[in-house]
């Protein structure tokens, strides 16, 4: 539970032509993580074209799946495992290209429809202003007898709002005027007018085109006196809107139909890519020259036999596999698989948020889980609230298995356990006899216990750091550093000095000097020896580091007082809710009690969870857990990753 599975470094020798078969076999085993085959003479990596083809096809498939809002799990069907040839991959890529072209066309159509809807929307709101233009548009249209509009170049349309000033000035150079009559969002509706002589009109057209001018048809309904039949214009716009809505509906329906129709075909194509993926992912890491090839990688020791079986099935007697233990210098690159019981797994993702333990390093998950539950329960002890949290976990389990569910189930359980100790159920402190006491009963005791909890927590994390340093064969770091044995002795000495002083039996000066001075001088000397630069700089660095080490222990311990503070806060919030409830009538009372409990459960529950994580990460992990390990990611037939 505390150490990773033993791994083996593998070296597989085979013929170049067998590489795709080997990739498939290794992926089928699900137990092999490749690494670059670092051999200077094997400088002729194979499969580059295949890889590019796969990447293009994979990108297309991903885009198509996103277009149809499908996930790999929705596709379901799988393809019988076999090696995917270049021609099969080309065919798949071509088919995906055709499918994506039609999806892309759909998206462009949808964009145009949405633009049309927005444009109609803009015009609807602009209509009133448009109708009130004090211009005889009918005359400008040349509809009146004896009037010829050809002398006037008149354009009405929309341009980006930000550019109207510059556009007006530019049009001025071509002898035209620009008048803004409506602004909506980023769009300005404008009238452009000027003398209609050929050269100037061409200039204006060119500027308007560059400015992204969208012409708006002058409604025929404008009449000579400047009034307009707004109702008919609106009717026309509504008709456009209906058309756009209908097109929008049609496109969505089309996509739904395509989705149902294409699902099976996509499953087949995804299956092909899933089988091509291992070789595409492995090929850049393979070392090869001429007809020979070499694959390097890692596998759990227990899975080597499985790998051999799969290789035999695909390539009978055509490979040589050698294995060895990871070297001490390979701790950083050896992938890590942490064996974890089911009840710990939901806490794994929280540990992974911080990092992955290095190969050989102590896995902090068990420590994290137990301390998380202890802190959460102590800060949020309530049988009722804990039961609700645990019930939420059970519901999650029912929906999706134990994966994520164990976290709320166990946290709720811890909350219930401390609720029994505190005698608290939904904030009521008189319904349940406390097995211990309510936090409010003795806040000082709670604070003292929290401080001792912090001392225990920090001591334990320092011990874990010492163990990790010893695993790394870093003896000076384990024994002499501020976060090593010297630091721990200093810290416990400090605790002894303070507690004896608080109890009225202060230690004699020589004992204090011994308890604090000896370990303090040890880690100061260690820091001095590690520091670089001039004497002044080294003195400064050493002094600051020593101060930081001492303050880190003190502030870390005080940081745990929040555990008691939140325990008290929980009771105080409940008292506030009940006080407010008592000021209301019967119905109001119960509404306030229910609402207040929901408030406590959601808000305080979330805050407590965040505070616990803070203590774990900053006061715990940062002291002993580097988190710079490498997670084991084997080659698989899972179509999700795109090795690109």
Residues of this chain that bind another protein (CB under 8 A) = 52, 56, 59, 62-63, 97, 100-101, 104, 107-108, 111, 160, 162-163, 166-167, 169-174, 202-204, 206-207, 209-212, 644
Complex with another protein: residue 169 or 442, whichever CB lies closer: 169
Minimal distance in Å, beta carbon 161 to another protein? 11
User: 188, 164 in Cβ contact below 8 A?
Assistant: yes
SS (H, E, C) 541-605: HHHHHHHHHHHHHHHHHHHCHHHHHHHHHHHHHHHHHHHHHHCCCHHHHHHHHHHHHHHHHHHHH
Minimal distance in Å, beta carbon 510 to another protein? 43
Complex with another protein: residue 174 or 344, whichever CB lies closer: 174
Complex with another protein: residue 100 or 566, whichever CB lies closer: 100
Beta bridge partners of 434: none
User: 276, 89 in Cβ contact below 8 A?
Assistant: yes
* Cα separation, 233 vs 530, whole angstroms: 83
CB atoms within 10 A of CB 145: 4
Complex with another protein: residue 170 or 485, whichever CB lies closer: 170
* Cα separation, 420 vs 433, whole angstroms: 8
Minimal distance in Å, beta carbon 206 to another protein? 5
User: 71, 321 in Cβ contact below 8 A?
Assistant: no
Complex with another protein: residue 173 or 502, whichever CB lies closer: 173
User: 166, 154 in Cβ contact below 8 A?
Assistant: no
Minimal distance in Å, beta carbon 366 to another protein? 34
Query: Which two tokens mark 327?
Result: 């070297």
Question: What 3-state class would DSSP assign to 185?
Answer: coil
* Cα separation, 275 vs 27, whole angstroms: 9
CB atoms within 10 A of CB 629: 23
Complex with another protein: residue 53 or 451, whichever CB lies closer: 53
Complex with another protein: residue 164 or 462, whichever CB lies closer: 164
Complex with another protein: residue 98 or 260, whichever CB lies closer: 98
Minimal distance in Å, beta carbon 104 to another protein? 5
Minimal distance in Å, beta carbon 258 to another protein? 18
Q: Which residue has the tokens 């490979």?
A: 319
DSSP 393-449: HHHHHHHH-HHHHHHHHHHHHHHHHHHHHHT-BTTBSSSS--SS--GGG-HHHHHHH
* Cα separation, 77 vs 54, whole angstroms: 20
Query: Which two tokens mark 30?
Result: 């699900």
Complex with another protein: residue 132 or 166, whichever CB lies closer: 166
Q: Which residue has the tokens 């078969």?
A: 21
Minimal distance in Å, beta carbon 284 to another protein? 14
């Amino acid at each position: 539970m505390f150490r990773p599975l033993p791994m083996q470094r593998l070296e597989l020798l085979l013929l170049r032509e067998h590489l795709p078969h080997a990739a498939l076999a290794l992926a089928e085993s699900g137990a092999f993580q490749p690494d670059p085959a670092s051999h200077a003479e094997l400088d002729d990596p194979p499969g580059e074209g295949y890889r590019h083809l796969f990447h293009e096809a994979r990108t297309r498939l991903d885009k198509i799946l996103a277009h149809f809002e499908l996930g790999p799990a929705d596709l379901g069907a799988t393809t019988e495992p076999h090696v995917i040839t270049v021609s099969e991959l080309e065919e798949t890529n071509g088919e995906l290209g055709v499918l994506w072209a039609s999806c892309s066309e759909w998206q462009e159509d949808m964009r145009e429809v949405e633009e049309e809807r927005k444009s109609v929307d803009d015009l609807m709101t602009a209509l009133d202003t448009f109708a009130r233009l004090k211009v005889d548009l009918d005359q400008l249209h040349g509809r009146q007898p004896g009037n010829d509009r050809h002398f006037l170049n008149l354009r009405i349309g929309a341009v980006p709002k930000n550019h109207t000033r510059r556009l007006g000035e530019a049009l001025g150079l071509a002898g035209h005027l620009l008048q803004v009559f409506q602004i909506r969002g980023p769009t300005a509706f404008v009238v452009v007018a000027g003398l209609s002589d050929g050269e100037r009109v061409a200039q204006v057209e060119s500027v308007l085109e560059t400015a992204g001018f969208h012409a708006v048809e002058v409604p025929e309904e404008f009449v000579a006196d400047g009034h307009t039949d707004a109702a008919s214009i609106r009717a026309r716009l509504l008709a456009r809107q209906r058309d756009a809505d209908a097109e929008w509906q049609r496109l969505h329906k089309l996509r739904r139909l395509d989705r149902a129709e294409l699902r099976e075909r996509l499953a087949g194509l995804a299956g092909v890519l899933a089988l091509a993926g291992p070789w595409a992912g492995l090929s850049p890491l393979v070392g090869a020259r001429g007809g020979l090839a070499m694959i390097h990688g890692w596998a759990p020791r227990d899975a080597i036999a499985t790998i051999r079986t799969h290789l035999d099935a695909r390539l009978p007697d055509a490979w040589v596999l050698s294995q060895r233990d990871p070297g001490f210098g390979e701790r950083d690159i050896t992938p890590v698989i942490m064996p974890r019981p089911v009840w710990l797994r939901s806490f794994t993702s929280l540990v992974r948020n911080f990092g992955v333990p290095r190969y050989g390093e102590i896995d902090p998950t068990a420590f994290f889980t137990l301390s998380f539950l202890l802190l959460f329960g102590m800060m949020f002890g309530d049988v009722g609230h804990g039961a609700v949290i645990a019930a939420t976990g059970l519901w999650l389990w029912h929906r999706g298995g134990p994966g994520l569910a164990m976290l709320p189930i166990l946290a709720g359980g811890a909350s219930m356990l401390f609720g029994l100790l505190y005698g608290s159920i939904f904030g009521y402190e008189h319904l349940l006899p406390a097995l211990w006491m309510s936090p409010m009963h003795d806040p000082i005791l709670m604070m003292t216990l929290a401080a001792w909890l912090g001392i225990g927590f920090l001591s334990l994390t320092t011990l874990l750091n010492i163990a990790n340093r010893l695993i790394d064969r870093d003896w000076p770091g384990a024994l002499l550093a501020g976060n090593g044995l010297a630091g721990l002795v200093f810290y416990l000495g400090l605790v002894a000095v303070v507690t004896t002083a608080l109890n009225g039996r202060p230690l004699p000066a020589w004992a204090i000097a011994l308890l604090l001075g000896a370990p303090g001088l040890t880690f100061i000397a260690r820091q001095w020896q590690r520091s670089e630069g001039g004497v002044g700089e080294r003195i400064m660095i050493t002094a600051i580091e020593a101060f930081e080490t001492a303050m880190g222990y003190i502030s870390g311990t005080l940081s745990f007082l929040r555990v008691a503070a939140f325990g008290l806060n929980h009771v105080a919030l409940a008292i506030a809710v009940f006080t407010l409830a008592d000021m209301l009538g019967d119905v109001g009372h119960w509404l306030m009690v229910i609402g207040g409990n929901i408030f406590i459960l959601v808000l305080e529950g979330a805050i407590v969870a965040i505070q616990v994580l803070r203590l774990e990460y900053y006061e715990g992990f940062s002291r002993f857990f580097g988190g710079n390990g490498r997670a084991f990611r084997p080659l698989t037939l899972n179509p999700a990753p795109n090795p690109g």
